[in-house]
Amino acid sequence: MNFENNLAFAQTLDQQDPLREMRNEYLFPQQNGRPFIYLCGNSLGLQPKVAKQVLEVQLNNWQNLAVEGWFEGNSPWMFYHKELKKLMAPLVGALPAEVCPMNTLTVNLHLLMVSFYQPKGKRFKIIMEGGAFPSDQYAIESQVRFHGFDPKEAIIEVNPKAGEYTLRTEDIVQAIADQGDEIALVLFGGVNYFTGQWFDMPAITKAGHDAGAIVGFDLAHAAGNVPLQLHDWDIDFACWCSYKYQNAGPGGISGIFVHEKHFNDTSLNRFAGWWGYQEEQRFKMEKGFIPELGADGWQVSCTQVMPMALYHASLQLFEKAGFVESLRAKSKTLTAYLFYIINEVNKQIGEEQYKIITPQTEADRGAQISIIAKANGKQVFDQLVAHNVLGDWREPNVIRLSPVPMYNSFEDVYRTGELLLTISQTLK
């Protein structure tokens, strides 16, 4: 598509957008009586308008049914997670039995590593992306120490080449091959939080399996953002949060994926709790843990009803939008337009004031553009916020802008570029 840097063009794209009405399903924060142009869905998604309603329903159930709410009412809490599983599965390309909503992201990462990081002999290393989100770094380091290994020896980070910001797939594959039979686990993010790079998950999975390792992914920035096929890609396990691109509220419930090939593997360790026990026998309260078949068998504690209700409401909006496939089509154009607009800003300034570090190839990115501000970065960001454009600041000089196809418009992108140019010229 040949883009144009003018308001009329952006508004025309919005008029042609089949998902334009989805924007009306969300609440935008306000400042000085005007809504923000909200470009921070990669950190916290907007609140669905229906959120208060679904919470009210569950509060009423609690009020009117009390403990009987676990087994009575339209959606008994005992089985409530099953309604979500049907909607979660197409979002990540899985079978319903392979997914389950539970806990929070890093808790689930730990629980899954208990099962899938099983170092034996010389096979004890974990390969991960350099510059992964700190929570992943801390979780992996602590798991390695728990097994008695030195993180400096056990954790292999793959970093970009000198002068580059993103990883090359061939370098990841080569690093896995180089470590060979010393690798116990390959654990990557699906999309890097800092650069917005979407890794070649099928290639990484194949390389890990060829080396005899287990392969897992943290999909915090991928689930609800890019199309995933976890089952068909033969990924062993994954987990994600629901509060970024999936708009399920701050600290929202997490989700897990366990490939069905592992369902009957009795050699897997797990930290068990009674909600993961066989459902039909759970209330007999007997000794000896027998897991429920599928991802549900990794549950520990009982259903978190309120966070699950918010997630359920958001997932229904994904179903209405056509899950990720329809959203992805818009996302590619929307993000490409932001790419174009930022480059136009640089042209009008007369220099590359804003260096894009997100991959230019649309297959290698989701709904995020990360830019290095070469001068006055924090001032530029603060001025954007002061003028009702809310993105995300990352030290020392990166601004992350995330045009989410569910609720952002092409006009949002155009007006962000217009403001960015004005601020840059003022500060120059």
Could you report the per-residue pLDDT of 190-211, keeping only the tens digit for each?
A: 999 999 999 999 999 999 999 9
CATH 3.40.640.10 residue ranges of the chain are 54-320
Residue 40: beta bridge partners? 402
Bridge-based pairing of strands 26-27 and 47-48 is antiparallel
Question: Which residue reads 């970009």 in tokens?
Answer: 160
Extended beta strands in 309-375, E state: 354-356, 369-373
Residue 299 · residue 256 · CB < 8 Å: no
Q: Enter the pTM of the model.
A: 0.96
Instruction: Report the C-alpha gap between 305 and 116 in whole angstroms.
Output: 28
CATH number of the domain at 7-35+324-427, out of 3.40.50.1100, 3.30.200.20, 3.90.1150.10, 3.30.413.10?
Answer: 3.90.1150.10
Q: Which CATH class is domain 54-320?
A: alpha beta
Residue 18 · residue 400 · CB < 8 Å: no
What confidence tens digit (pLDDT) does each residue in 235-252 have? Answer: 999 999 999 999 999 999
3-class DSSP state of 248: coil
Instruction: Report the C-alpha gap between 52 and 344 in whole angstroms.
Output: 41
Q: What's the angle, vertex CA 236, arms to CA 231 and CA 238, rounded to 5?
A: 85
What confidence tens digit (pLDDT) does each residue in 129-173 have? Answer: 999 999 999 999 999 999 999 999 999 999 999 999 999 999 999
Residue 216 · residue 112 · CB < 8 Å: yes
Instruction: Report the C-alpha gap between 106 and 135 in whole angstroms.
Output: 7
Q: What's the angle, vertex CA 220, arms to CA 163 and CA 21, rounded to 5?
A: 105
